């Protein structure tokens, strides 16, 4: 029951923290191990053998590194092992690919590898790694996520935390990290991924938390995997590790960490996918187009409806995803921004996700490959997609906008909730007819479309804009309750 309660609470509170801009991430050694990098025990195996010690028998692995440094007269041997093993470019695990897509601004890690940086580079998202305390004074790249590599990086082997000396002198050598970590621990919700009982780095971070919050530490979440029998050579070793893990996971409450237990590492991506889905559920993309040159009463009606949908998105605390279209997109943005101003909120940098479509010069054709890529990104960012109109003119005659149909297909693939307002005609009408009576789920937490009754009501050409807006509002409220 405790495990299930922790999971349920995590899926409710952490996506909300991300949406509000208060979510941060701590990446532990388990993530690197899942990618194929060695554990601390494996990493120091040869180092231990040189001293006549088995690394698997040592709990304090930092001490093992310290002993080797003392015996060999320097840290070159230890650092060469780290360079050889951690310097490899292994495939980025799926869990980090998902983390790179989450709306997070701050990531902490004690890992030396470059997996996080490479996950961000793969989607061309800017990230500023900070591996030395003095680097914290440097200005960050605008819009970039900050990655705090508080124990150093493979890029700077002369400045990594590895031995007992490094841990004991951390405050004097790398103490600049501590006030910022304490600030994030007190003001944000941190998700710890890849924590390991045997990782000396984790014990160090937990001691910093305990030092900062002795009585009532802020609550955070830790995804934990209990030991498995095939992880160990003997039943005795497995039972001992399992007992230690059970006690350790309970003891994490002293540090404000709520355990979110999984059966195996394979479950981490699906759990993070669920977080991504819940964050996306608070984002609405309004897809549509309308021939602005007509300038008739119907055009004004569509513009007003689009503007009021934008206001509704803003007033209900959701984020707007938009391609900044010439007519529908600009109307929705105008309403959304007005709603934020009326409410005193000016956090457009967080709540407006815009990917403007580059318009071709007169006589030129749009870049279809680039437009499809932008549409795919908008679909991935959105949990709900509202379709308005979807009409263009060809040789002066109205036609269904194939771009809106493509956006519907991409949104469906991404698992978004599909909400066509068929009364606005064009592609929206065609999509409403396609969804009506379909097998796509229409109720519960897996719903991906309105009910048949709602689709029909939204397709009623005689319905007033006020009626259409009310139905959309009711649908959004229901989705919020079932998320």
Closest to 270 (Cα-Cα) out of 394, 98, 400: 98
* Whether the predicted pLDDT of 212 surpasses 80: no
**Least confident segment among 1-10, 29-38, 384-393, 414-423:** 1-10
Cα angle for residues 14, 474, 415 (degrees, 5° grid) = 50
Helices 94-101, 115-122: axis angle to 10 degrees equals 60
Q: What is the CA radius of gyration of the chain?
A: 26
Residues 6 or more apart whose Cβ sits within 8 Å of residue 346: 340
Q: How crowded is the C-beta side of 26, counted as CA atoms within 13 Å?
A: 25
| pLDDT higher than threshold 70 for residue 200 | no
Most confident region among 146-160, 216-230, 335-349 by mean pLDDT: 146-160
Residue 420 has a pLDDT of: 97
Residue 344 pLDDT > 70, yes or no?
no
Residue 295: pLDDT over 70: no
Q: Which of 452, 419, 457, 459 minimizes the C-alpha distance to 309?
A: 419
- pLDDT at site 345: 65
CA–CA separation, 162 and 74 (whole Å): 12
pLDDT(302) > 70: yes
pLDDT in tens, 417-430: 999 999 999 999 99
Neighbours of 401 (CB within 10 A): 23
Window from 42-46, 93-97, 400-404 with minimum mean pLDDT: 42-46
Mean pLDDT along residues 189-208: 76
Is residue 320 within 8 A of residue 314, CB to CB? The reply is yes
For residue range 262-291, list pLDDT tens digits in order. Answer: 877 778 899 999 899 889 889 999 999 998
pLDDT at 330: 92
For residue 61, pLDDT beyond 80: no
Distance (Å, whole) CA 302 – CA 294: 12
pLDDT of residue 55: 65
Averaged pLDDT score across all residues of the chain: 87
Could you tell me if 73 and 83 are in contact, meaning their C-beta atoms sit under 8 angstroms apart?
Answer: no
pTM: 0.82
pLDDT at 327 over 80: yes
Contact criterion met (CB below 8 Å) for 315 and 351:
no
- Residue percentage of the chain with pLDDT more than 90: 43
Three-state DSSP at 290 gives coil
pLDDT higher at 134 or 48: 134
Tell me the backbone φ, ψ of residue 397, rounded to 5 degrees: -115, 140
More reliable by pLDDT, 135 or 233: 135
User: What percentage of the chain reaches a pLDDT higher than 70?
Assistant: 95
How much is the average pLDDT of 188-215?
A: 77
- From 85-89, 207-211, 426-430, 456-460, the region with the lowest mean pLDDT: 207-211
CB of 329 within 8 A of CB of 304?
A: no
pLDDT in tens, 373-406: 999 989 988 999 999 999 988 887 889 999 999 9
Q: Which is higher by pLDDT, 329 or 444?
A: 329
| 1, pLDDT greater than 60 | no
336 or 243, which is more confident: 336
Higher pLDDT among residues 215 and 132, named by residue: 132
What is the token pair recorded at 50? 């040189």
Closest by Cα among 423, 422, 426 to 405: 426
Do 148 and 133 touch, CB atoms closer than 8 A? Answer: no
- Pick the residue with more confidence: 361 or 167? 167
- Of 482, 476, 396, 408, the residue nearest 446 (C-alpha): 482
- Band of pLDDT at residue 129, cut at 50, 70 and 90: very high
- Calculate the CA dihedral of residues 368, 370, 375, 381 and round it to 10 degrees: 170
Q: Can you give the pLDDT at residue 91?
A: 95
């Amino acid at each position: 029951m405790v495990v299930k309660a922790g999971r349920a609470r995590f899926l409710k509170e952490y996506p909300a923290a991300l949406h509000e801009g208060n979510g941060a991430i701590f990446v532990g050694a388990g993530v690197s191990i899942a990618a194929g990098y060695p554990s601390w025990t494996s990493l120091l195996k040869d180092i231990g053998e040189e001293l006549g010690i088995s690394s698997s028998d040592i709990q304090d692995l930092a001490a093992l590194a310290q002993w080797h440094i003392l015996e060999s007269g320097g840290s070159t041997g230890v650092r060469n092992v780290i360079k050889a093993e951690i310097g490899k470019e292994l495939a980025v695990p799926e869990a980090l690919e998902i983390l790179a897509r989450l709306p997070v601004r701050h990531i902490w890690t004690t890992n030396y590898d470059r997996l996080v940086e490479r996950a961000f580079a793969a989607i061309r998202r800017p990230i500023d790694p900070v591996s030395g305390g003095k680097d914290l004074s440097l200005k960050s790249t605008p819009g970039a996520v900050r990655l705090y590599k508080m124990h150093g990086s493979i890029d700077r082997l002369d400045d990594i935390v590895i031995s007992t000396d490094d841990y004991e002198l951390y405050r004097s050598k790398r103490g600049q990290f501590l006030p910022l970590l304490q600030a994030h621990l007190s003001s944000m919700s941190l998700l710890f991924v890849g924590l390991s009982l045997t990782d000396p780095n984790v014990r160090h971070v937990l001691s910093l938390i305990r030092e900062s919050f002795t009585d009532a530490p802020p609550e955070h979440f830790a995804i934990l995997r209990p030991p498995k029998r095939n992880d160990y050579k003997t039943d005795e070793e497995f039972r001992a590790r399992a007992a230690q893990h059970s006690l350790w996971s309970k003891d994490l409450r002293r540090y404000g960490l709520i355990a979110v237990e999984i059966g195996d590492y394979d479950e981490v991506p699906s759990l993070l996918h669920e977080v991504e889905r819940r964050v996306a559920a608070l984002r609405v993309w309004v897809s549509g187009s309308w021939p602005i040159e007509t300038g008739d009463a119907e055009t004004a009606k569509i513009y007003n409806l689009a503007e009021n949908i934008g206001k509704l998105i803003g007033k209900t605390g959701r984020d707007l995803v938009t391609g900044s279209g010439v007519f529908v997109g600009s109307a929705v943005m105008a309403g959304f921004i007005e709603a934020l101003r009326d409410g005193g909120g000016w956090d457009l940098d967080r709540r407006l996700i815009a990917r403007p479509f580059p318009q071709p010069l007169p006589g030129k054709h749009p870049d279809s490959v680039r437009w499809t890529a932008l549409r795919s990104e908008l679909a991935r960012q959105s949990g709900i997609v509202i379709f308005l109109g979807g009409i263009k003119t060809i040789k002066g005659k109205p036609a269904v906008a194939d771009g809106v149909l493509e956006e519907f297909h991409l949104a469906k693939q991404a698992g978004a909730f599909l909400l066509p307002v068929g009364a606005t005609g064009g592609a929206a009408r065609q999509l409403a007819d396609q969804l009506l009576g379909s097998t796509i789920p229409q109720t519960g937490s897996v719903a991906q479309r309105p009910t048949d009754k709602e689709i029909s009501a939204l397709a009623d050409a005689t319905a007033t804009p006020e009626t259409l807006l009310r139905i959309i509002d009711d649908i959004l409220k229901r989705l919020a309750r079932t998320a």
